[in-house]
Amino acid sequence: MRITVDKIASVTRNLKLAKKLTLSADIEAVEGAVLAARVRGEKRAYNQLEDPHGRMSTLHDGDLIVGALGHRRALQGYEGSVPSKVEAGDTLHLLNLGGVIGLCSSHHPELGPPFEVEVLGQVLSFPDFQSRQGKPARLPAPVLHEKASANLPPTVFVAGTCMNAGKTAAASVIVRALSRAGLKVGACKLTGVSLMRDVLAMKDHGAAHGLDFTDAGLPSTGPDSALASARAILHALGASGVEVVVAETGDGILGEYGVQQILADAELMASSAAFILCANDPVGVAGGLEHLRSAYGISTDLVAGPATDNGVGVRFVEGLGVIAGNARRDPAALGGAVLALVQARQGVPA
């Protein structure tokens, strides 16, 4: 079956698909399988799709799209998984803006139910020159540097108590401060569900190179995949010649995307040049600091996010003996504080 699609999702960006595609009615019900589907209905909220260049476009009833099967576990979004069997004509759901498709089991009331999509078939790829024998398309294996660095680069880890805790805003400010200090900065997102937006924001702030787990072949991460993916990403950034990396972990330190496995890894944590916790309120700050300390032996260097939006939160954080920073209220101070930590711990010249 040959079709011409309207929109291609960013989760499939490394396949470099054209809009004219060949489909197979035989569909692999596995994470990363690339599908074509027809959007059903209209939505006023959460109604866009990110394309392979990072541009958002509004979806409409009847749009033909390309995405990839995957799971999502978002407290403030959708929960969904890959069903055990997928056939042409089945109704699934668009689980995120990046084009991850699955069967939704619960949703946040402010977003409403996700878009329904009618499965049309699995996209076929033609990797062999002049071959007419297509192969079922999946997200490609790691699209990273062939030669990984022997040592992990110094890394500023930016974690949070939950999604929407200010991690990307803080990470972007930190990237800018390090870059303006003359450092070649790498940026990455280690966990979550596929979306280019956060890494693009860090590149807009001065990162020389940016990667995420989709560059390691994943539509979303989990406890079984996050650690290997994170290692591959950080080694690849090291091989690219960056002097320091800013690494955001998507979702929270108690979520279901594999952040815990990263925090528990001695090799990754030994590369830490600074550890930043983003939180929404004082309870999140206190609980997050204690959990990181007791579960992983991690001493947090700085707290950012909405919990530090004004003097009330700043006093609370500083009363716990931790630096308080805020990306919106005083980005220069936040960036400068992290730059000082990096210089002190890694011997980076001022």
Q: Which domains does the chain have, with CATH numbers?
A: 2-136 (no CATH), 155-346 (3.40.50.300)
Residue 147, pLDDT > 80, answer no
Percentage of the chain surpassing pLDDT 70?
96
Q: How far apart are CA 337 and CA 170, in angstroms?
A: 12
Q: How far apart are CA 94 and CA 101, in angstroms?
A: 5
Can you give the pLDDT at residue 347?
Answer: 63
The predicted-structure confidence for 198-223, as pLDDT tens digits, reads as follows 999 999 999 999 999 999 999 999 99
Can you give the pLDDT at residue 349?
Answer: 53
Q: How far apart are CA 217 and CA 215, in angstroms?
A: 5
Residue 350, pLDDT > 70, answer no
The predicted-structure confidence for 86-135, as pLDDT tens digits, reads as follows 999 999 999 999 999 999 999 999 999 999 999 999 999 987 766 678 89
Crossing angle of helices 197-204 and 167-180, rounded to 10°: 30
The confidence band for 305, taking pLDDT boundaries of 50, 70 and 90, is very high
Can you give the pLDDT at residue 146?
Answer: 52
State the DSSP H helix or E strand holding residue 36, giving kind and residue range, or none if neither.
strand 34-40
Can you give the pLDDT at residue 41?
Answer: 97
Q: How far apart are CA 36 and CA 175, in angstroms?
A: 36
Q: How far apart are CA 187 and CA 220, in angstroms?
A: 18
Residues 6+ apart with CB under 8 A from 335: 173, 174, 176, 177, 178
124 φ, ψ (degrees, to nearest 5): -100, 140
Rounded mean pLDDT of the chain? 95
> Strand runs (DSSP E) across 64-143, as ranges?
64-69, 72-73, 78-81, 91-94, 100-107, 116-125, 135-136
18 φ, ψ (degrees, to nearest 5): -90, 170
Can you give the pLDDT at residue 13?
Answer: 97
